[in-house]
Amino acid sequence: MILKSCHIENFGKLTDMTVDFSEDIHIILEENGFGKSTLAAFIKVMFYGFTGEGKKNITENERKKYKPWQGGVYGGQLTFETEGKCYQIVRTFGAKEKEDTYSLYNASTNRESSDYTSNIGEELFKIDRDAFVRTVFIGQQDCQTSVSDSISAKLGNLAENTDDINNYENVQKKIKDILNAMSPTRATGSLKNIENKIGDIKVSVFRGEEIDHSIDILNEKLARENRQKKLLKEELTQVKESIEKAGREGEILAKQQMYEKLCISYDEAVKKKEKYCGWQSENIPDKEEINKYIKLWNRRNEKKNAIGAKKAALESLGAALSIHIRAVNIPLLLLGIVLLAAGITSMITYHNVGLLMAVPGMIIIISSLLYKKKPQRKEENEEWLQLFNEIQNDEAYIEDTETKIYNYLNEYGIEYEEGDDVLEIMYRLREQCTQYRHTLEEAQKAERDKISFEKVNDINKLLAFKAEKSKASIDSLNMELSRLTEELENVQGNILSYMRQLDSLKEERDEISEEEEYLINLEKEKERQQRKYDSLSITKKLLEKARDSFTSKYTEPVKSSFNKYYMLLTGEESRRYEMDAAINISLMEMGDRRDVRLLSQGYRDLVGLCMRMALIDGMYENEKPFIILDDPFVNLDDEKLEGGIRLLKEISKEYQVIYFTCHESRGY
């Protein structure tokens, strides 16, 4: 199978881009940021669609990650050849998977084809997307790989059978989950829980006599507390009756005191009002009106304080206008500069003509600089006239404001003489008005309160009442009431607590006989679950043994291919590397097997590349797939890089290779 070409409408940063692929090795050598990895991702998505659809992180959600930067149609076309036929995939992508479109055409006839569905990747390669990424698609900084069920099925030519090896991992995971859920050692295991319940029930079964004794003691305490409760209620009733009687007397006495205070307040308010005997409420100046005149006077002061400076400025401006002013005649100056420049330029070719233009230009420039402007009459100057009119308006405003203020003060009989502080007079007037209004309101309120009280109370009867002398004060009665109430609450709390304890003990006592039968059932359930647990453990081991037996059939061919590619890359034999029945590669070092993940990044990439190529060899014996290499040699040193180039040359003999790199040193 080979890729023929692709056209990207919009995908990530790529737009309106067409690539025609070579049939052996196609190298894309571009600098970082060109979009090489985006192009590689486009090829994968055209076969398998997006990954990470439900992820919120944009780097994990491919649909969001490759959404066109510039907008427009999201998608493109990919043309490939397989089994002697040429096809073209056309896909467009929306915000969600249900908005995507998929079409397949026979590239020779341009007619729509039904040979493959939208799940074309799995139908063509006989592996799922995860297996595709672990083998054929070697992404940037992602050379390591591992064997999945889909890869194992393809290696064993069982890709069409989805009921056995393809589901091995799922079955093993389900068995493992069940075993973990039943574990006799895990805190959350059902067997462990049953064992704990059995231990707890055995302890509670022996508590019968202890519970009976506790019930007898609680019944005695409950009877004692009920007797105490009855006595406290009788005492509380007597104290409440005494408090109610004392409260009625206290209420009348309180009213007497209140009426006395109302009368005193009324008399004091009347006396205060008499101090303003010459004032009438309807003629009192309004506070807001006084504030308005205070603002007027403040504005008058501002203008008066500023008028001296304005007059000085006016006089200074008039003097300046009477002086001759030397100024530059700009139009004349520009004309002279133009003539001078033209003359100098012309002198290079035509000396006399240039001289005739340059001399007048110089004369005009000197004349424009010596230009004098005639003095201007101050009455014609706009700035002088504006300032002069402003002074006239300010003086008129000051005179008008003074007249208004004097008339306002005279209206209320306040005489004003030259030199008096008008603001102080007006502030004093405002304060007096405020005090009078407050005094008037107090007197009116005191009168209303007194009249209202007299309307709802019989004053003669109220003043004639005399309280009887009580044996106990209201305060002492309230203290006694609080004490008795607190004791009663404590007793009721004890009763409630004893009743709850009794209910709990009786319920527990009733359950003991049920727990004996429950204990028998639990022991039977434990035995049943233990048999199931043992059976599943054996099944898990047998499945592992069967899988190892199945995979061991193609372990040797894969290891042989691994050795071949390792020799190409390193020039050395791969004797130090071992492969188990599950096709897991390990390094023999210092007498023990080491995980290849402990190697340096360069060696991890090297081993991963060899492993991927070995798996591809084993998976595809007939028609070979294309291979995408997105700069896989970036972590190799110079010596291993030479081996990488040899590897490219070798695999391109059997496979179409799409090779992306950003540096010429890693080129073909």
| The pairing of beta strand 25-29 with beta strand 14-20 | unpaired
Percent of the chain at pLDDT > 70 equals 88
pTM given for the model: 0.46
Non-local (6+) Cβ contacts of 617 within 8 A are 557, 558, 561
Rounded Cα–Cα distance for residues 408 and 581 (Å): 114
The pLDDT of residue 317: 80
Lowest-confidence region among 257-261, 396-400, 473-477: 473-477
574-594: pLDDT as tens digits? 778 877 766 778 877 776 778
SS3 32: coil
Are 46 and 19 contacting, i.e. CB atoms less than 8 angstroms apart? no
- Residue 15 pLDDT > 90, yes or no? yes
The pLDDT of residue 160: 46
- Residue 2 pLDDT > 90, yes or no? yes
Instruction: List the end-to-end C-alpha distance of the chain, in Å, as a whole number.
Output: 22
SS3 631: coil
Q: What is the chain's mean pLDDT, rounded?
A: 82
Per the listing, tokens 């306002």 go with 408
The pLDDT of residue 159: 41
The pLDDT of residue 267: 83
CB atoms within 10 A of CB 628: 24
The pLDDT of residue 85: 94
SS3 168: helix
Lowest-confidence region among 325-339, 430-444, 475-489: 325-339
The pLDDT of residue 326: 52
Size of the chain, expressed as the number of residues it contains? 668
User: Higher confidence at residue 419 or residue 390?
Assistant: 390
Residue type present at position 281: S
- Residue 333 pLDDT > 60, yes or no? yes
Work out the average pLDDT over 558-585: 80
Are 79 and 87 contacting, i.e. CB atoms less than 8 angstroms apart? yes
Closest of 16, 57, 62, 55 to residue 37, by C-alpha:
62
- Residue 102 pLDDT > 50, yes or no? yes
The pLDDT of residue 6: 96
User: Higher confidence at residue 335 or residue 9?
Assistant: 9
- Residue 97 pLDDT > 50, yes or no? yes
614-643: pLDDT as tens digits? 888 888 888 889 999 888 887 787 777 888
The pLDDT of residue 466: 72
Work out the average pLDDT over 318-339: 68
- Residue 43 pLDDT > 90, yes or no? yes
The pLDDT of residue 164: 52
pLDDT band at 158 (very low <50, low <70, confident <90, very high): very low
The pLDDT of residue 59: 85
H helices of 60-205, where?
62-65, 120-125, 129-134, 149-155, 168-182, 190-205
Between vectors from CA 282 to CA 278 and to CA 287, what angle results, nearest 5°? 95
Work out the average pLDDT over 350-356: 68
The pLDDT of residue 351: 65
pLDDT band at 106 (very low <50, low <70, confident <90, very high): very high
Are 40 and 137 contacting, i.e. CB atoms less than 8 angstroms apart? yes
490 backbone φψ class: left, alpha, beta (φ>0; ψ -120 to 50):
alpha
pLDDT band at 161 (very low <50, low <70, confident <90, very high): very low
Work out the average pLDDT over 89-97: 93
Work out the average pLDDT over 279-294: 74
Range among 245-259, 372-386, 434-448 with highest mean pLDDT value? 434-448
| The pairing of beta strand 592-595 with beta strand 585-589 | antiparallel
- Residue 165 pLDDT > 80, yes or no? no
- Residue 324 pLDDT > 70, yes or no? no
User: Higher confidence at residue 90 or residue 363?
Assistant: 90
The pLDDT of residue 88: 96
The pLDDT of residue 281: 53
Rounded Cα–Cα distance for residues 49 and 43 (Å): 10
pLDDT band at 224 (very low <50, low <70, confident <90, very high): very high
The two tokens of residue 57 are 């992180």
- Residue 490 pLDDT > 50, yes or no? yes
Between vectors from CA 138 to CA 133 and to CA 143, what angle results, nearest 5°? 105
The two tokens of residue 553 are 């059939």
CB atoms within 10 A of CB 282: 5
- Residue 149 pLDDT > 70, yes or no? no
Rounded Cα–Cα distance for residues 571 and 563 (Å): 11
The two tokens of residue 571 are 């020039």
Q: What is the dihedral of CA 306, 308, 311, 316, to 10 degrees?
A: -100
**Reduced DSSP (H G I as helix, E B as strand, rest coil) percent helix, strand, coil of the chain, to 5:** 65, 10, 25
Domain 2-146+620-666 superfamily per CATH: P-loop containing nucleotide triphosphate hydrolases (3.40.50.300)
pLDDT band at 162 (very low <50, low <70, confident <90, very high): very low
Half-sphere exposure of 601 (CA within 13 A, CB side): 8
Segments making up each domain of the chain, as ranges: 2-146+620-666
Closest of 128, 158, 148 to residue 48, by C-alpha:
128
Closest of 154, 186, 196, 152 to residue 170, by C-alpha:
152
Work out the average pLDDT over 651-656: 89
User: Higher confidence at residue 259 or residue 91?
Assistant: 91
DSSP state of 620: -
Work out the average pLDDT over 153-175: 63
Rounded Cα–Cα distance for residues 338 and 357 (Å): 9
Are 604 and 143 contacting, i.e. CB atoms less than 8 angstroms apart? yes
